[in-house]
Amino acid sequence: MDDVTTSDEVRLNNQLRLLKAMHSSAADKTRVRLTEELGVGRGTMSSLMSQLGEAHLVREVRAESGGRGRPGHMVKPHPEGPRVLVADVKEDHWELSRAELGGDVRLIVGGPLDGRPDQVLTAIRNAIDLVIDERTVAIAVAVPGLVESGRYVNVAHLGWEQVDFAAIGRRGWPKVLVGNDARSAGLAEARRGALRGVGTALHLHVDFDLGGTLLIDGRNQGGANGVAGEYGHMPLGGGYGRCMCGLEGCWGLQVGLNALLNAEGIEPGWGRGREDATEVLRQAYRGEDRALSAVKASAVALARGIGILSNALDPGRVGLSGMAVDLWKLYPKEMERVAVAAQMPFRRDSPPTIVPTLLEDKGIAIGAMESAFDEFLTLGGLKAWIERFR
């Protein structure tokens, strides 16, 4: 609070602290609990609640009594408060969700993707047209590829180069934030899932290809140009062959839906083959030998890469999402063994724990939502919202 000098600034800062505490909480909190966490008096808390209530940011709900004593009041997001629209773009389809302050994310609509970037840009823009309103403070887009300068998307397996996804926006709409899907999935786990509270964590998300992110204290480490985490394009799996990105021996050739398609003799790429690859997974769960062999090869390659990355990054925990969870469910002991064997001997007594997602298939949308609310939950963002009610 070094730069907070006036009473108005002090009040705005306390309002922001309260909103952040409410938004980030893994569970509902009472007004008494939040008063203690913020270190403010009851009078100050009453004033903050009143001011934020008038601005449609918070509300109080009487908690159900769990025993003796008077039930407390829960602090919750206002039903007419700010929200974010989140577009999750896969290699073969897209989904649009609505996210509320506090973390509630709900799917609205989705559709197929035929590989043409103009088609998905138009489809998402038209879908947003139908649901955007004055409460929308940001539009977040998660994509399965490199994102340059926060807008230009490159997806090797779709042949996309420098596709301007920020062009989804229209005049008068709020800011469009474009980010990588695997980094969004990792951020979600760090904020609300299996990596919450872990100081240094590695997250890997597997779909057709795989990517990931290193998180420190709940924040993605983007690198010098904001494009770190393309682990799928490193030779970590021990395989060979040319990737569509132009490199040889990429990890993604051994791990992911594309790897299962290769095992079936189906040429991967261009967002084709999800159903064929998913059928291999279903066969593996049924215990069919050929499918088990293909899935095991992918699981072993994933585990080997986890061990190598653990040597380089020293995470306290490794999170998995997407198809990586299926590999873990089918071969947990084998993956643990291979990951430990790939680590330097001094690490083997206490290797990082490998954990599957706690957020199921919502992780990418939740992470994109968190990035958008990170920009809203600032002194400038809060002040602009409150000005609407004056």
Question: Which strand (E) or helix (H) includes residue 155?
Answer: strand 152-155
Quick one: pLDDT band at residue 163, thresholds 50, 70, 90?
very high
Encoded tokens for 65? 């009594």
Q: pLDDT digits over 255-303, tens only?
A: 999 999 999 999 988 999 999 999 999 999 999 999 999 999 999 999 9
Q: pLDDT digits over 352-371, tens only?
A: 999 999 999 999 999 999 99
Q: What mean pLDDT do residues 230-242 have?
A: 91
Kindly report the number of other CB atoms within 10 A of residue 316's CB atom: 14
Q: In what order do the strands lie in the sheet with 160-164?
A: 146-148, 152-155, 160-164
Cα-Cα-Cα-Cα dihedral sign, residues 215, 221, 222, 228: negative
Domains of the chain: residue spans and CATH: 7-77 (1.10.10.10), 83-184+364-387 (3.30.420.40), 194-357 (3.30.420.40)
Question: Which strand (E) or helix (H) includes residue 93?
Answer: strand 93-100
What is the distance between the alpha carbons of residues 112 and 119, in angstroms, rounded to a whole number?
10
Beta carbons within 8 Å of 361's beta carbon, 6+ residues apart? none
Tell me: pLDDT of 245 over 80: yes
What is the distance between the alpha carbons of residues 302 and 305, in angstroms, rounded to a whole number?
5
> According to the model, what pLDDT value does residue 134 have?
96
What is the distance between the alpha carbons of residues 280 and 36, in angstroms, rounded to a whole number?
53
What is the distance between the alpha carbons of residues 51 and 61, in angstroms, rounded to a whole number?
16
Quick one: pLDDT band at residue 1, thresholds 50, 70, 90?
very low
> According to the model, what pLDDT value does residue 342 have?
97
> According to the model, what pLDDT value does residue 115 have?
85
